[in-house]
Each structure stands twice: as structure tokens, then as C-alpha cells.
Amino acid sequence: MKKNILLHSSDNERLDIFLREQLPLSLKNDNLSNSKIRRLILCGAVKVNGKNVTRPAFELRGKSEVFINFDSEKFFFEKQPEDIKFTLTQKEIVYEDEDLIFINKPAFFPVEQTITGNRVNLHDALVDFLWSRNKALRNPPYAGIMHRLDRTTSGLILFTKNRNVNKEISDIFQSHRLIKKYYAIVERPENSAGGKNKFANGKIGTVQNNFFPGAHFCVEMFMNRISKSSQNAKWGRVSEKDGGLYSKTEFSVIKEITIENKKCLLVECELFTGRTHQIRVHLAEEGIPILGDILYGGSKAERIYLHSAGLSFTIGEKVYDVKCLPDWESAGSPEV
């Protein structure tokens, strides 16, 4: 959809900074990246006081009229990954009561809508599923997203069915008053006692831990985004003074396992914090990146082998302890 947008500036400031502040307000959309703003200017879609301006650093001086010839289809276009076709059925419902519903999400399926506004996702699939069970409803039933999983991560995810419990669930997640467990498959180091492997920064390092069934280890570090905003988002070790956020994960090596003809280890991961890509970064830092996690040094595979396996918490006197074991093809569910 094309539309003309007229904005007014009264201060001295850069054009790209002005648009970054004002355009989201006009479009009622906060998901406008700096790179998209720059491309909008560079493609000649912006005029200042009637003249085309193609320099993002152009200086607005005093009162100015900024005219944007805005094409939403081009501006919001994102190359779509290959999502699977998925329809939610009763077999994917791991546990449900009057307030909460726990779903086993497949890999390669996003949790929620993206900026393009036309992508199939788990939230919409859940609303359709709940509505199909009660066709007498005139309006779509409510489903609240309480946390998220990466598109490539499979496993347990929680939604609320009742707005009244949203605050309590949100407080539980924010205060870490729950146990979150994942399963990851990592390639077995060539020599678990001091072998060589890739770290998150791409360099070759020495594996310090002895990784074998029954081994336990813990990773604590400050982390944040380390990639440029124009690149694929990548997180890594950052000092606290440079904006790093504390993160902690405990790991247990469960057993040896063969996946895609590769000798691997099945690792249980218990999160104590919830940073972006936390498990992926922590395992890569230890020199054992997740199989399929190319971004953090893992070998190429059919998928990133990470699965949300358990959520445990208490509301009032009710204890929730919901588990969802992975069912990776050629490996079967792990015996834990």
C-alpha cells in the first residue's frame, strides 16, 4: 500500500534521526530499523521542503516540511524463511486447564506474527484451534503470549487463556521463580579432555571441560549483542561495564547419541536467566556449539537441535510441572 506522509521539523537535526523518531509515530509501528530508514532515504522516497534528499545525514535546519512517498509493501518486505506447514491439533497440547495451555511447538514455525503481517504462526494457530472448539463464540478467543522460542527451537511453550492470570505469570518469568529445562545436541569433541573446537567468536580454542555422560558444568557470564544492527543478530560475551547482562546456565551431559550420522552428546540445560540465545552462546563458549547452529560455530545440519523440555512453577497452591521430551528423528526420545 502506498501513502504520502507529511511531517514537520522545527529543530536542527539529521534527517535519518528525525525519521527514526517521527515515522514510527505516524505509522503506529515501532519495528522500524535504522537500516530501513536509511534505505528509504537513499531510494529517493523523501523530500525536504519540496526537494529530493538522498543523504541520511542531511541536516534539517529550523522549520522544515519532510514529505515521504511511503510504500509499505517494499518497506516492510522481509525475505521469508521456509516455515513448515502446521495446523495445531489436540496431540500438540501437552497440558491445559481453565487458565493455561502448554503446547509442543515444532521447529521451523514462528511463535507470533512478524512485521510483514501475513506470516503463519503459532499464536494464530492456537486462536483458530480454541475457536474451532467453541464455534458459538462471536469473537476470537483470547490467547496470551507469555514467553517466546526461536523459530528453529522446538518444544514446550506456554500461553494464557485468561487475562486475569497474565500479571502473575509475567511476574513468575521476570523474577525467575520457575525452572526452565531444555535439551540440546552437541557434537562430541574429538578429544573431550582438552580437545580443540570452535568458540562463539569463531576462533579455535581448547575445550577445558571433560564432556562425558554424567558430567556437570555451569556457565556464568555477562552477555549482549555483539553483531552490527545490519547483520544477523548474534550475542556473546560482553563485560558488565560495556552493557553486558548477567546470564547463568547449568548443564548435565545425559548420554552419547548419533544424529545425522554424527557422534554427539545429549545435554540437559537448566536456565537461571533468560537472555537471548543464552544456551546457544553458553555451549559455544564451552567449545561445544549446538549441532546445526552455524551462527555460533556448529556444523551444518537439518536443524538447530535445541528443544524446550520442561516448565515448572507454582501459582497459589497449584504446582505446574509440565514436561515435553524431544522426538528427534533417528534418535527417538532420550531416556532421562
Q: How high does pLDDT run on average in the chain?
A: 84
What the block records as the C-alpha cell of 20 is: 527514526
Please write down the HEC assignment for all residues of 110-144: CCCCCCCCCCCCHHHHHHHHHHHHCCCCCCCCCCE
Residue 237 has pLDDT above 80, yes or no: yes
User: What pLDDT, on a 0 to 100 scale, did the predictor assign at position 291?
Assistant: 96
Q: What is the pLDDT of residue 72?
A: 64
Q: Does residue 31 surpass a pLDDT of 50?
A: yes
Asked if pLDDT for residue 205 goes beyond 60, the answer is no
Is 53 exposed, middle or buried (CB count within 10 Å of its CB: 0-12, 13-18, 19+)? middle
Of 256, 303, 265, 296, nearest in space to 187 by CA: 265
> What's the pLDDT score for residue 208?
53
Residue scoring higher pLDDT (333 or 92): 92
pLDDT score of 239 more than 50? yes
Q: Above 90 in pLDDT, residue 332?
A: no
More confident residue, 82 or 252: 252
Query: At 91, phi and psi to the nearest 5?
Result: -70, -20
Report the percentage of the chain scoring pLDDT > 70. Answer: 85
**Average of per-residue pLDDT across 267-279:** 94
Cell numbers for 88, please give them.
495445531
How confident is the model over 208-216, as a mean pLDDT?
81
More confident residue, 176 or 116: 176
Residue with the bigger pLDDT between 161 and 114: it is 161
- Are 220 and 244 spatial neighbours (Cβ–Cβ below 8 Å)? no
pLDDT higher than 70, residue 269 = yes
pLDDT at 220 over 90: yes
Q: Report if pTM > 0.85.
A: no
Name every residue whose Cβ is closer than 8 Å to that of residue 233 and which is 6 or more positions away in sequence: 225, 227, 276, 277
> What are 294-323's pLDDT values in tens digits?
999 999 999 999 999 999 999 989 999 999
Instruction: Identify the CA nearest to 252 among candidates 214, 281, 223.
Output: 214
- Residue 227 pLDDT exceeds 50: yes
Give 3's pLDDT tier (boundaries 50, 70, 90). confident
142-159 per-position pLDDT tens digit = 999 988 898 899 999 999
- Work out the average pLDDT over 197-225: 71
Spatial separation of the C-alpha atoms in residues 252 and 215, rounded to whole Å: 6
pLDDT tens-place string over residues 62-114: 889 999 887 765 565 555 567 788 889 999 999 999 999 999 999 999 898 76
